[in-house]
Amino acid sequence: MNPRRTLLELFVAALRAVDGLACVERELRNFGAGPVAVFAVGKAASAMARGAHAALGERVEQMLVITKDGHVDPELARLSRVTIFESAHPVPDERSLAAGAELERRIVTLGAGIAPLFLVSGGSSSLVEHLVDGASLDQLRALNRHGLAAGWDIATLNAERVRLSRLKGGGVARLLGARSALALFISDVPGDDPGVIGSGLLGPDNGRDDAIERVVVANIDVALRKAVDVAHAHGLRFETRAERFAADATEVAREFIAALRTTDADGLVWGGESTVKLPPRHGRGGRNGHLALAAACLLKPGEHLILLAAGTDGTDGSTTDAGAIVDAGTIERAEIGGCDVERALREFDSGTALEASQDLVHTGPTGTNVGDILIGLKAPFTRAARTGN
């Protein structure tokens, strides 16, 4: 058994279990009758929109898709009556405001006989915005940069974003008024609260009653269960845990490696999102790369542990790396490749170190976004895994 190949197989299986196209299509198989307007926002917007089109076909009167640069599915662009906005993430720009204005315009002018369908996934907070009077794009950008650098949790960041926004914190519910709508979510937040996903883009408006039906179609738990099931099919016994990780990336790395060393199982799979506090000047990489490099520094020479840390959206911070797979040889390989690992860790330049060690993982856009996944494998494996039985 090739440990790296096994980790990648488990990760890909987890991604497929929360694929936006499949999850949305399945949910909409029995969705009423009549014409529909589809509004898809987030990193998984393209896949979710394709799922809606697969289920509804010619019933789709119009479709607005707002997603991250480079996350547009080519198949989506071939469909008729589709408008696509590629927007900014993780820091908003003028395109975010243009996308927000278009979203608001389409909602308030939507014909009475057309049912609104919203598809929301992580990343929406940055991708679409319509500012309150007196707020500026510079303020919004400064807020996002400060929150990301300071390692704010999602609740803190959302509370600050809502102060500047006409769309967040139930803004779309206000635009809809008493109109009925369906909102499907791929959740990347603790508790799967629609009032938190995408800064509450389709959440309730201050707890007021509305006619929006809200359904979470995928979350991190679904992904973790699938990874465990696939490991079991290989004869490996994996353990997971109910609580999500949410601490500083270095602390999560330390906790995960300690748990992996002491478990009686063949491996562990955890889900959540770590945080990092970035210095004013930092290098290339995101929270998963930083976590992976910190974990690699903890491994002893010759220790038979291997770890994957990756984002389910296929990106890590502002990079196009999903994350990395590290083992006890990572640090030596990075140094042979000419990287000062201590400097890279200190300056949050994990991408440079992990590129030198040839440990980066690339998936491209995945069509989902349920948070981050850690998968750890230890040797020796169970007898079933060693023999293939």
What is the share, in percent, of the chain residues with pLDDT greater than 90? 79
Say yes or no: 324 and 378 in one domain.
yes
Q: Examine the pLDDT at 384 and tell me if it is beyond 60.
A: no
Other residues' Cβ atoms within 10 Å of the Cβ of residue 250 = 18
**Which CATH number do you get for residue 30?**
3.40.50.10180
Both 272 and 191 in one domain: the answer is no
Domains in the chain, number: 2
Flag whether pLDDT at 143 surpasses 90.
Answer: no
* pLDDT tens figures, 304-330: 999 999 999 999 988 999 999 999 999
CB 359 within 8 A of CB 336: no
pLDDT at residue 388 is higher than 80: no
- Considering the domain architecture, whether residues 150 and 31 belong to the same structural domain is answered as yes
In a shared domain, residues 48 and 165: yes
Residues with Cβ within 8 Å of residue 337, at least 6 apart in sequence: 355, 356, 357, 358
301 plus 176 within the same structural domain = no
**Together in a domain, 271 and 333:** yes
185-207 residue pLDDT tens = 999 999 999 999 988 999 998 87
* Distance between CA atoms of residues 307 and 377, nearest Å: 6
Q: Which domain holds residue 225?
A: 3-14+221-383
Residues 126 and 273 in one domain: no
pTM: 0.92
In a domain, 54, yes or no: yes
Would 388 be classed as within a structural domain?
no
Of the three residues 157, 183, 218, the one that is the final residue of a domain is 218
Q: Which letter does DSSP use for residue 191 in this model?
A: G
User: Tokens 């949910």 appear where?
Assistant: 27
Q: Which of 156, 183, 218 is the last residue of a domain?
A: 218
Q: Is residue 389 part of a domain?
A: no
Helix (H) or strand (E) holding 376: strand 372-378
10/38 same-domain check: no
Within a domain: 353? yes
Residue 275, pLDDT score:
92
* The pLDDT value given to residue 245: 96
Among residues 203, 218, 233, which one ends one of the domains? 218
Q: What is the pLDDT of residues 223-247, one digit of tens each?
A: 999 999 999 999 999 999 989 999 9
The reply to whether 159 and 230 lie within a common domain is no
| 171 shares its domain with 273 | no
**Summary mean pLDDT of the chain:** 93
Instruction: Identify whether 126 is part of a domain.
Output: yes
- Report d(CA 186, CA 44) in Å as an integer: 8
Domain containing residue 324: CATH number: 3.40.1480.10
